[in-house]
Amino acid sequence: MNYIDLKNLFFKYRNSVEDILKNINFTANKGEITAIIGESGSGKSTLLRILAGLEIPQAGELKVNNKIFIDDENFIPVEKRGIGMVFQDYALFPHLSVEKNVLFGLNKLEKKSAEKRTHEVLDLVSMKEFIKRYPHELSGGQQQRIALARALAPNPEIILLDEPFSNLDANLQGKIRNELKAILKTSGETAIFVSHDKDDLEIADRVVILDRGEVIQTGTPAEIFRNPKNEYVRHILGI
Ligand SMILES: Nc1ncnc2c1ncn2[C@@H]1O[C@H](COP(=O)(O)OP(=O)(O)O)[C@@H](O)[C@H]1O
Ligand SMILES: [Mg+2]
């Protein structure tokens, strides 16, 4: 069964002339990591924001775990989707400590349980010693781990990450990539991340290739490398 099922999605911004996303279809299984890869401007962030419930598409159907999130009659808002999001700039609150940043999303729990869960996810991302620090006292990689911990804390059904490695030093990227994969697999998360960098495919179970708002090819990384559909896919893969 497809855990995430997106069908015939069309989207344009109010001021855009053409459709930004054109007839997007893809599925993802539970516990898998899906990479959405494409050139800058191909619509990756827009697609992620629609999955999160931050933008409303003109047409299309989105089901998660057989629940309808979007169709002609229904639109489940962001706060009811059980989705965690890690933004490109991490979007940590600068005036809050690491602990308070993670606690922020746990306002539905009572204080004791919220604190317990905060310590648990900070342990998961190996950042427990940094609990009293502030974001500006942390490196890019450490900030990213806090953003991830904050997104994982409420046990979301899905976690969405926008260009999770693009703000990190090149020599850190490989290490953080493998760490992220280990954390997602340990917590059994279903994850979708977007990227423009072929190196990020390393940690993906499945890949969706986007070109100017259209899905060009989907498959496992191995399938796509073995049989790239066109010149654009080859270009994205650097082959
Ligand atoms: N808020 C917005 N209003 C109008 N157009 C937008 C807005 N955000 C993005 N776009 C346009 O939508 C297209 C896709 O953008 P985006 O989803 O950010 O692509 P990517 O993340 O792949 O770089 C681009 O042409 C961009 O200029
Ligand atoms: Mg983007």
Residues 224-236 have a mean pLDDT of: 97
Residue 39's pLDDT is 96
Pairing of strands 206-211, 190-195: unpaired
Ligand 1 midpoint to CA 46 (Å): 6
Is 80 exceeded by the pLDDT of residue 1?
no
From the CA of 44, the nearest ligand is: 1
pTM score, whole prediction? 0.94
15 lines ligand 1 (CB under 6 A): yes
In contact, 198 and 37? CB cutoff 8 Å: yes
Instruction: Between 171 and 49, name the one with better pLDDT.
Output: 49
Pick the CATH number of 31-52+82-203+216-237 from 3.40.50.300, 3.40.50.2300, 3.30.70.2340, 3.40.1000.10: 3.40.50.300
Rounded to an integer, what is the distance from CA 159 to the centroid of its chain? 5
**What spacing in Å lies between the alpha carbon of 18 and ligand 1's midpoint?**
11
pLDDT of residue 172: 80
Whether the pLDDT of residue 175 is over 90: the answer is: no
Mean of per-residue pLDDT scores for the chain: 94
Residue with CA closest to ligand 1 atom 4: 13
Q: How far is the CA of 17 from the centre of ligand 1 (A)?
A: 12
**Distance between CA 32 and CA 29 in Å, rounded?**
6
Q: Is the CB of 174 under 6 A from ligand 1?
A: no
pLDDT category of residue 191 using cuts at 50, 70 and 90: very high
Question: Looking at residue 112, what DSSP letter applies?
Answer: H
What tens digit of pLDDT does each residue of 2-56 get?
Answer: 999 999 999 999 999 999 999 999 999 999 999 999 999 999 999 999 999 999 9
Ligand 1 atom index nearest CA of 194: 21
Ligand minimally distant from the alpha carbon of residue 162: 2
Report the pLDDT value the prediction gives residue 203, as an integer from 0 to 100: 95
What's the average model confidence in pLDDT over 63-73?
A: 96
Place of tokens 């279809």: 25
Q: What residue spans define the domains of the chain?
A: 31-52+82-203+216-237
Rounded to an integer, what distance in angstroms lies between the CA atom of residue 146 and that of residue 135? Answer: 9
Q: How far is the CA of 162 from the centre of ligand 2 (A)?
A: 7
Residue 196 Cα: closest atom of ligand 1: 22
| Per-residue model confidence as pLDDT tens digits over 2-11 | 999 999 999 9
Instruction: Give residue 87 CA to ligand 2 midpoint distance, Å.
Output: 10
pLDDT in tens, 113-153: 999 999 999 998 999 999 999 999 999 889 999 999 999 99
